[in-house]
Chain A
């Protein structure tokens, strides 16, 4: 069965302390891998799309990378406003379904 696994489940960082979140998948025939941010009580907000191994995308303090079986979301010098749940999702070819992981809850302390 196609699965998406995110780690760690939760992460606490000091402001300015860089780290990485992981998303691994067993989907065969990957069409795209997507990162979303979700704040409490809100719907997910789109961040990045990655299509092929070696691809990288950046936005402010966030950088997403993709290998054949996993993706990393690197957070450089995070700020308290980066605190949120970060969700990874994959879409495989021939389907419209996005399969989401359970997310990583990030807390950045001032």
Chain B
């Protein structure tokens, strides 16, 4: 059973560019959350998707947007990249009804470097 898969694993962009990161949730999971983890920090909540809708958003600017597809996979888009966007972007999936159990399954992340 495949866990959460993310792509690409590493990428380098320059300031002002746009990036799209992709996530396939664990089989059967219907809820996807995205987190940003800067070096030496804990993950920070970006937003969560359920039933193809953004259900909650963290303190991130509108440059960060996302999408969830009918097969529950998800994309994170970041426009007008800044140096401070350099981080590990983590996707986490869960069953919606099990979300409060804390048992999120994380992917290995996409490491974004902005030059």
A-B contact count (CB 8 A): 62
Q: What are the interface flags for A79-107 relative to B under an 8 Å C-beta threshold, 1 for contact and 0 otherwise?
A: 00000000101010001111111110000
Q: What are the interface flags for B94-115 relative to A under an 8 Å C-beta threshold, 1 for contact and 0 otherwise?
A: 0000011111111111000000
> B101 is contacted by which of A4, A44, A49 (Cβ under 8 Å)?
A49
Q: How far is the CA of A4 from the CA of B44 in the complex (A)?
A: 12
Q: How far is the CA of A46 from the CA of B100 in the complex (A)?
A: 13
Chain A interface residue bracket vs B = 20 to 34
Q: How far is the CA of A26 from the CA of B56 in the complex (A)?
A: 21
- Inter-chain contact B42/A101, CB cutoff 8 Å: yes
- Inter-chain contact B100/A91, CB cutoff 8 Å: yes
| Tally of contact residues, B, Cβ under 8 A | 26
- Inter-chain contact A100/B43, CB cutoff 8 Å: yes
Q: How far is the CA of A59 from the CA of B105 in the complex (A)?
A: 18
Q: Which B residues are in CB contact (< 8 Å) with A95?
A: 56
Q: Which B residues are in CB contact (< 8 Å) with A4?
A: 42
Q: How far is the CA of A99 from the CA of B59 in the complex (A)?
A: 12
> A102 is contacted by which of B35, B42, B103, B105 (Cβ under 8 Å)?
B42
- Interface positions, chain A 20-46, Cβ under 8 Å from B, are 31-34, 41-46
- Inter-chain contact A96/B101, CB cutoff 8 Å: no
Residues of B participating in the A interface, judged by any CB pair closer than 8 Å: 4, 33, 35, 40-45, 48, 55-56, 58, 90, 92, 99-109
